[in-house]
Amino acid sequence: MNSRSTSGTRVIRVDGESRTESRDVLATEDPLEIRLEYGPGEDRLTRTVSVTMRTPGHDEELAAGFLFTEGVIEDPAAIREFQRPERALEQFVKVVLDENNVPRLHQAERNFYTTSSCGVCGKASIASIQTVCPFKPTIDSLKVSKQVVVSLPGTLREAQAIFEQTGGLHGCALFDIKGNLIAMREDVGRHNALDKLIGRMFQDGKLPAADLVLLLSGRASFELVQKASMAGIRIVAAVGAPSSLAVELAEEMDITLIGFLRGARFNIYSGAERIVN
């Protein structure tokens, strides 16, 4: 956990007729600028590709995961190094690419446009994801028992150290088919948490994660299913509800999508054959 992931604040606690002053712990929310340096020799360029509000910590994973899930880079070997600011007040991470690797910024721009307007573009958004996704759907024999599925939220909550302190963070995690926790990340932003998680797997050369199960602590939006698809994940479970376009994308990309995972109950919106008794 990063020491800047939480912040202290004064709070007045009200309980019936009583008021008491105490200290509370909050999840930190700070801006992070993601920069990209690329190009040959003296013609190298530096470009800001995103500014996001995130919980400090795992910033390099966030940058790498963002660039990968948005289709800008495909290979972790493309990244030469990460650069961070010398002054504490500056908050950015610069991803420096090898000279031989050209980022697919035009793909990202199209993807940004379609996903930001997904309420009206529908099938166009799904088509754009299919274009940039490096891992195409294949026939698989992946099966997960419903007993494992219902155990996942409890395991995630136990691993969420910052959530336990603040109650104010989204979490996501990858599990094997027996329910063992492989990796977990949390952040004030749902998308950031997943980018951090996928960024870690991407840097470790562990993608596609086709034999793992992704759990989301909130709802399953189109963008989150998109990121899962980019990582080659075949099963996505969410504690909350999926959106209509998330279900459409899951069906198109042959992803098992589970929603409303609470207690012993859940709904399967696509790919039900992968969940067994």
> What residues are labeled active site?
118
Paired sense of beta strands 170-175 and 275-276, if any: unpaired
CA distances to 26, 85, 164, 184, 217 from 157, rounded to whole Å, are: 17, 33, 8, 10, 9
Peptide linkage before 103 cis (omega within 30 of 0): no
